[in-house]
Amino acid sequence: MLLLGVATATATSNATANTPRMLVQFGPSRTATTLQFQSICAAAVLLSRRGDQPPEDQAVDCFFTNYEFDEGDDQWSTPQDKAKIFTKEGVRGRVVLKIDDDEVLEKWIKKGTADGGAWLFATSAQGAANAPTKVNGVDVHYTQALPELVEKGLEYQAGRYAELFALNETEAKELTEYLGHWDKLRVCCGTQMSASYRAFLHKSDEHHRMKGGVTSDTSAMCQSLNLDQEESAMMATSLFQYGKHVRVVSHPTMREEAFTGTYCRRANAVIAEHKLQFNARLQKYLGNKD
């Protein structure tokens, strides 16, 4: 059973550079959980690039899991990443987790706390004044409130994460630049694209029923987007170039191939041709050619 406390603010009082090695994202569906997860992962990549950390603390990986610690090793970017981060001496580097199961969440948080600390990030459909301060008794470091995100936009939200992770001005700009491109591709590219744009590609009756609403705005934006240009621009960002070894940074989803500069256009073409649904496996349709 999920137990939520109530907040009067959504962030800790002061940003700190003393970021723990385990960062966990948790929240109900349809509250921009993936945006929060991607933002935390991108910030962790920027922290790992700083030269003031010993080499053993520069490893970073990000993944979704509803497994306990000793299960689900296929979620890591490579089999070596888990060994780099979780050593006999404790947690090294930094791991960012996206978890949906509250019992699994509690076990990972306990492990992180025992190995040097953990921050829990949450999302909420409620406004900031009613955002949760605790999940199952665990303090929430920051809650991303959906109404605030909708009202103030992505650039403002990226700025909040820059503050929380004490990023410098250059790093904050890099975070905002990367997320700006990623956010467009998130809804316009691949197996987890928006429902309205998928309906448009499928030329389905559902697309006509969606016209006139918020979802139709998303579809219109995607239709006007030059996917190759947007994908290439994201790949050219310094954050992508440094963090492309992290699967979450360099792939649309954990189920898909890496960005190439043409991946989104090719993926969307097979989704349209074969009328593929959410989270469909695309590899057998794509082949190896750009």
Question: Is the pLDDT reported for residue 130 higher than 70?
Answer: yes
Q: What is the pTM of this model?
A: 0.85
Q: Is residue 268 part of a domain?
A: yes
- The first and second tokens of residue 14, run together, are 């002061």
Q: What is the pLDDT of residue 83?
A: 61
Q: Is residue 7 part of a domain?
A: no
Same domain? For 122 and 160 the reply is yes
Same domain? For 190 and 229 the reply is yes
CA distance 232 to 1: 44
Q: What is the pLDDT of residues 103-129, one digit of tens each?
A: 888 888 877 776 668 899 999 998 878
Number of structural domains found in the chain: 2
Sequence-distant (6+) residues with CB within 8 A of 39 are 157, 158, 161, 175, 179
Question: Is the pLDDT reported for residue 272 higher than 50?
Answer: yes
Same domain? For 162 and 248 the reply is no
Q: What is the pLDDT of residues 160-215, one digit of tens each?
A: 999 999 999 999 999 999 999 999 999 999 999 999 999 999 987 665 454 544 45
Domain hosting 127: range is: 22-167
Q: Is residue 14 part of a domain?
A: no
Same domain? For 125 and 207 the reply is no
Q: Is residue 173 part of a domain?
A: no
Exposure string (b/e) for 25-54, b if CB count within 10 Å is 16 or more?
bbbeeebbbbbbbbbbbbbbbbbbbeeeee
Sequence-distant (6+) residues with CB within 8 A of 122 are 25, 26, 27, 131, 132, 135, 140, 142, 143, 144
Same domain? For 149 and 230 the reply is no
Q: What is the pLDDT of residue 66?
A: 75
